[in-house]
Chains A and B, each alone.
Chain A
Amino acid sequence: MLIKSLSLKNFQCYCGELDQNHFCFKNGLNLIIGNNGNGKSKVFDGFYWVLYDQIFDTDIRQFTPTSVYGEKLISDKVTRNCEVGDTATAEACLVVESSQGREYRLTRVFHCTKLSDTEWMKERSILLIEEKKTNRWTTSNETPDSVLNRVIPPHIKPYMWFQGEQVDGLMDLTQKSSLAKIIKLLSDINFYDELVEITHKGAEKSSKSLLKNQKSLSKNKEESDRLEKEFNDNLREIKNLEDDKKLANENYTNAQSKINDLLNKIDDAEEKQKLKIERANLEIKLKANEDSVIEKRKSFTSKMFHDYWILKFSKPSLEKFGRKYKEYFEKHQQIVNQNQQTSFKLPLNVPQPMHLHGMLESETCYVCNRKAEKGSDAYQHIEELVNRSSSVTKSPFECDCSEYYDHLYTKSIRFYQHIETTNERISEQFDTISSLEADILENKSRLDTINAELEGLLENDSSEDVVSEFRRAQSNVERFGAEQKDIENKLNRLSTNQEKIKKSLEKLTLGKVDLALVNAEKVFASLARIAKSTREEVYTQIVLELESKANKIFEEMTSSNMSFKGRIRLKRLDNGAYKAEIVDQEGYSVTGSNDSNIVLVKLALIMAILTARARWSDNFTLISDAPTSKMAHEYSTGFYKALSSNFSQSIVMTYDFIEPEDRAKFIMENKQNIGSIHILNSKYASGNMNDRTDLETSIEEVVL
């Protein structure tokens, strides 16, 4: 739903009737501009109070229920003029419109009766919800929650309705779980998580049912019982190891983050940056080389087949076959020829029929280049050769294998050359691995040196504690890295063992296992795999979309500022979580960004989340109080531009553009995106600015 208007009656500093304190909002950017103390935050409170019956208590910096906040909610000017026994009333009225064009009016009313100079009797606040039907307001039949949740769905509320000072808390960039939390909250990833869980449970259950069925058909009950027990024990161990794996991943990530945090503490920025870049490059190279060695070692067995290494010693046999084939061929050919009229010395189809016809026409034998006149023996012989070609002769063989042998022979000679170079190819592979391993050693040694240098830098400008913390984190990275590998190996071994147990149980089975159970086990196992990989893909896709959208918004917001801003990167950590960070052009993490840059990054991410996928930004209003309070002027302008181009409606309370010239310039440049502008002014009838009971706030709508 989008918001059409907000009217306040005697609410906080807004003294007077609803029509006197009325804000009319349109699509686009709606600005409520006022100086400090002019009632901007009270407008934010007004929205909040209508929906949640709570008010932001600035004394304790938290939202407080009306019943606790009491008469303070009512304008001081009104309460001051109350006599004992008088009742004071505050009201806030919000008019909203759904995407189907249905209008609702939400009015919250609060009464308070003065019992003495210091005592008030508070009533419960009332929320009245009306719907506009044929131009008249009538009480709505819908439940309050159904309407309120459509004004702003509870799960997106913190990200669409926020005060500037809350931005830090909404998204703590140092917390790796905060992004995951928001993605979980605002995307449909929950659905995939549920799917993974359901299919995983299904796979487990169907596997157990199959085992049970196999066990009931077992020819050796005792052995089946033992195997089933082993299977279930393994399953438990796998679960424990998976938990351990998560923990090891978490610890590894934490240790890595710790190292980065500690390095950021070093003051010698240039030297630190240089070493950090070299360290990062070396780590990437080291990982690539290690992966490459693993891949190459893995590819050895594959190469034995696909690069034909296993033929290395087979040349003598292939040559033997060659000799055998030649002997065969001669004998075979003899029989072929014998089967033809023995007078023919030439094999079948030699010369080819077209040449034989040519010989007859020219009465010349092309073989010996002698005359073969018609009627001569030579002419007759050529004629017989022609007839030989077309005559169907019975094969002299029961089973003519010549074609098959010929094929095998051709294939065998193709490998001669290849076999001769096999040793070279194997050596090349070993040499590549040796060279990679040498590189790995060299990189590791350089890494040790860099770490020592970084330690030195830490020592120079930090306490002993930081150095020892750095060392501890370094050793944790190694320890948890090794732990991760160890768990991985154990898991691989266990899953192999599970397969073996399944096979053994199968073998013990007598009779037919229930086919439905067999199929269910297969189907669920596949479904569990598919669900898991789909969830991963969807999540990665969401993160990529988010990163790209956040950068687009970030660029939009910072386009008029020439200083270095960096780029937002959502970095995947070893524990699978993502962390938002600002990186430079080379992709290196940038530390020490100024506050306004960080706020912009956070706002860009929040806006990206709200505009991505579910497109909350199309149907709900973003309301924020002083979001730009930490930003430089160019950044604020950029922020408003990004807001107006990404959200159907936004309402922002701000002290930006308080100067008429600034405001005029902004209006001129962004007229088409601005919904409304209201200016707040405070006035004190008595002229005493220290008397809050004399305060009235006036609202002036700027004509656009």
Chain B
Amino acid sequence: MNLLKKRINSFRPKFLQSFEPIISRYAQYGGGSKEDKFNRGKAFANVYEFYIYAFFIGLAKNKSLELTSEDTAKDFWEIENWKPADLTEQLIICAIAESDFDMNAVESMDKDSLYKESTKVLSTIEKFANGGFMYIKQKVEESEEAAEDELLFVNLLEED
């Protein structure tokens, strides 16, 4: 497998620990069946589903939150395990587009430099996803009624 693809696929993106309550409120930790998801009142069957959603919401609302080495963050599953695969690829495409990752330069780099350069893409994924979580957290805190609405995430998508 291409080294860059391997690097991206094996990445375990992080989220700030402070977002854990909101993630466990809406996503089913450890996955499970779709039916379980509805039975337990969760909007997302997996944490990665919520992460993908948060990324695109962050991107749409231009909300970004860069993680620093001082932040307490948690990681989870490698990107290659996320589903649907089509959507995961769109996320990578957008992250490449929105970062200053040099598509040509990496082709001439050794492994270490390539890893360093690709970090720009991976940081962009984390930046928008955490920005998205921050945005969702604000919305949930603003109104408990909205937080309880089963259409919360569709409504956020519909907001201009």
Task: Write the residues of chain A forming the contact surface with B, with a CB cutoff of 8 angstroms.
Answer: 297-298, 300-302, 304-306, 308-314, 317-318, 320-321, 324-325, 327-328, 331-332, 335, 397-405, 408, 411-412, 415, 426, 492-493, 495-496, 499-500, 503
B2 in contact with A399 (CB, 8 Å): yes
Q: How far is the CB of A65 from chain B (nearest CB, A)?
A: 57
- Measured between beta carbons, the chain A residues less than 8 angstroms from B107 are 332, 335, 397-402
Q: Which of B9-31 touch A at CB < 8 Å? A: 24, 29
CA distance A495 to B42 in the complex (A): 13
Would you call the interface of chain A mostly helix, strand, loop, or mixed?
helix
What 8 A-B pairs have minimum CB-CB distances, sorted nearest first? A313-B60, A321-B97, A317-B94, A320-B97, A328-B103, A397-B107, A310-B56, A317-B97
A298-B38, A403-B2 given; 7 more Cβ-contact pairs under 8 Å: A300-B151, A304-B153, A308-B86, A320-B98, A398-B114, A402-B107, A500-B24
- Measured between beta carbons, the chain A residues less than 8 angstroms from B4 are 399, 401, 404
A411 in contact with B89 (CB, 8 Å): yes
Closest to A422 in B: B157
- Measured between beta carbons, the chain B residues less than 8 angstroms from A328 are 103-104
Chain B contact-residue range equals 35 or more
CA distance A401 to B90 in the complex (A): 17
User: A311-B87, A404-B5 in contact; A412/B93 too (CB < 8 A)?
Assistant: yes
A317 in contact with B59 (CB, 8 Å): yes
22 contacts between A and B (CB under 8 A): A297-B151, A300-B154, A304-B53, A305-B52, A308-B86, A310-B56, A310-B87, A311-B56, A312-B60, A314-B94, A317-B98, A321-B97, A331-B104, A332-B107, A400-B107, A401-B2, A401-B4, A411-B86, A426-B157, A493-B41, A495-B39, A503-B29
Q: How far is the CB of B56 from chain A (nearest CB, A)?
A: 4
Would you call the interface of chain B mostly helix, strand, loop, or mixed?
helix
Task: Write the residues of chain B forming the contact surface with A, with a CB cutoff of 8 angstroms.
Answer: 2-5, 24, 29, 34, 38-41, 43-44, 49, 52-53, 56-57, 59-60, 84, 86-87, 89-90, 92-94, 96-98, 103-104, 106-110, 114, 150-151, 153-154, 157-158
- Measured between beta carbons, the chain A residues less than 8 angstroms from B44 are 301
- Measured between beta carbons, the chain B residues less than 8 angstroms from A314 are 56, 59-60, 90, 94
CA distance A324 to B90 in the complex (A): 15
CA distance A304 to B52 in the complex (A): 11
B109 in contact with A312 (CB, 8 Å): no
Q: How far is the CB of A424 from chain B (nearest CB, A)?
A: 13
Q: How far is the CB of B22 from chain A (nearest CB, A)?
A: 14
Q: How far is the CB of B44 from chain A (nearest CB, A)?
A: 7
B56 in contact with A397 (CB, 8 Å): no
- Measured between beta carbons, the chain A residues less than 8 angstroms from B92 are 408
User: A297-B150, A305-B87, A321-B94 in contact; A401/B157 too (CB < 8 A)?
Assistant: no
Closest to B61 in A: A313
Partner of B3, one of A298, A321, A399: A399
- Measured between beta carbons, the chain A residues less than 8 angstroms from B93 are 317-318, 321, 408, 411-412
B98 in contact with A312 (CB, 8 Å): no
